[in-house]
Structure 1
C-alpha cells in the first residue's frame, strides 16, 4: 500500500484529521478500546516523530505519561501491535528502546464507519487521504489474535524469515516491493543472518541504503542477530 507521509503545507490539518479518526473510533468502541485509543493519542501528540515516521519511547516514559505501571504498558503495546494499529519496526536491544510506526491503513479502516459522525467534509478529506491497499489483507477485531494475512510466493510464514518478510511488507511496503521481496534465507550462524539477493547490485544497495529496516525485522523474529550478510 502507499506509504502515508504527513508533509507539505497540509500536513498539520492531516495530523488533526488522523487524531480525530482515532478519537471517534475509540469513542465508538468498548471501554477498553476507548482507553487504548486515549493512550495512543497521548503518545502520538507527545512523542511521535513525524519526520522519521517513528515512535521510539521507553516503557518508563510511557508509564509516566499514562500514569500506569510498566506491566500495563507492556500489555497495552501488545494489544496495539496485535491489532495491527502499531507496527513494530525494531526491538529494544542493547540499551535502545523499541521503534514503532502507526499503521495508517488500519486506523482509517477502524474509523471509517464513524467518519460521518464528524461531518461530510471530514468524510471527503479522509477518503482522499486513505492509503490504497495493494496487498490482500485479512482484518480482525481489536483484541483478537491477528492471523497471517499476506502471502508470499513459496514462503512459509510460520518460520522466522517468513514472519520477517511479513513485517517488512506491512511497515516498509515500497521498500519491500522494490528491494526485500526477492531476498532468500540462507542460514544463521552466531549472531549473523545470511541472505541471498537476486543480484550483487541489489545486495550492495540494500547493504548501503536499506539495511536498518531489514535488520530490525530480522531481530524481531530471530532474536539476537546483530549483523546481516547479503550475498549477490
Structure 2
C-alpha cells in the first residue's frame, strides 16, 4: 500500500498529487459523490497521519468537522469503507476511537480516468506513483483481450465481465466483481450493485465501457443501467 511506505523525498508533492486526484474525481462526479469526497478530503487534511497511515477521529469529532449529525457520519464512513478507500486499522476500545487506514492504491486506481483532466505531466507523475504500488506480477496491459467462447449456460453479462476483467483486472476487482445481472428487457440490461454509491459511480464513469463490453456478446443491448440493491 502506498501510504505504508515512508514518503521521504518529494513527499509533499505526492500528497498534493493524490489530493488533486481526489478533487478532480469529485468534480467529475455527482453532487452526492462531491459531498462525500469533500468530507473525506477534509478529514484527511485535518487529522490524517501520513507517516503512520492512520486517521483517528471519533464520530463526534467528525460530526463537528463535517457539520452534520453522527448518523450521517456513520453512513458516510460506511460508504467510504464499501468502496474500499477507508479500512479499519484498529477498532475502538474504551477510551480510544477507531483508527482507520487509507488504501491509496485503490484511490489511485479509481481516480485514474480523471488524471488527464489535470494534464499530461500530472498523469505521468501519478502513473509512476501508481506503478510503484503495483505488485510485481501485475498483468501486462499491452496484451489485447479477446472475448471468450460463449457457453449456453452463461449470460451476456457473464461474458462481458470476463472481457472487462482481462482488459482491466484492477477496475474489475474494485467495481465490478460484486455486480449482478438483474434483467434484460427491450434492449436495456439492468445490473445490480451492492451500494448506491457504487451504482452511481458505474453509471457516471463506466457506463459506456460496460455497454461496449456487453454489446460484444449481445448487440441488441443499447443501454446498461446499474441500480443499487
What's the CA shift for 1:34?
A: 0.8
Deviation (angstroms), 1:144? 4.4
Match of 2:5 in 1: 5
Aligned residues: 145
Gaps of 5+ in 2: 139-168, 177-191, 196-229
C-alpha change, 1:10 and 1:59, in structure 2 (3 Å) is same
- The aligned runs of 1:127-166 (5 Å cut-off) are 127-130=127-130, 131-133=133-135, 138-140=173-175, 144-145=193-194
- Residue 83 (structure 1) aligns with: 83
Cross-structure match for 1:161:
none
Q: Give the equivalent residue in structure 2 for 1:29.
A: 29
Q: Could you tell me how far apart the structure 2 residues matched to 1:104 and 1:4 are?
A: 9
**Offset, 1:73:** 0.4
Q: Following the alignment from structure 2 to structure 1, what is the Cα–Cα distance between the partners of residues 6 and 32?
A: 29
> Which segments of 5 or more consecutive residues in structure 1 lack a partner in the other structure?
147-232
Aligned to 2:183: none
Counterpart secondary structure, 1:101:
strand
Match of 1:214 in 2: none
| Aligned 1:64-83 pairs, distance under 5 A | 64-83=64-83
When normalised by structure 1's length, the TM-score is: 0.58
CA distance in 1, matches of 2:3, 2:38: 24
Where does residue 108 of structure 1 map in the other structure? 108
1:175-214 deviation per Cα after TM superposition (whole angstroms, max 9, x unaligned)? xxxxxxxxxxxxxxxxxxxxxxxxxxxxxxxxxxxxxxxx
Looking at structure 1, the residues matched to 63 and 35 of structure 2 have their Cα atoms a distance apart, in angstroms, of 14
SS at match of 2:93: coil
Secondary structure of the corresponding residue to residue 88 of structure 2: strand
Partner of 1:57: 57
* 2:85 and 2:103 in contact (8 A); partners too: yes
Pair 6,28 (structure 1): closer, same or farther in 2 beyond 3 Å? farther
- Distance (Å, rounded) in 2 between the aligned partners of 1:22 and 1:6: 21
Identify the residue that residue 145 of structure 2 maps to in structure 1.
none
The answer (yes or no) to whether the contact 1:90–1:98 under 8 Å persists in 2 is yes
Give the match's secondary structure for 2:7.
Answer: coil
Shift of 1:95: 2.4
TM-score by length of 2: 0.59
Question: Distance in 2 between the 1:100 and 1:46 partners?
Answer: 14
* 1:128 Cα offset (Å): 0.5
Q: Distance in 2 between matches of 1:126 and 1:28?
A: 18
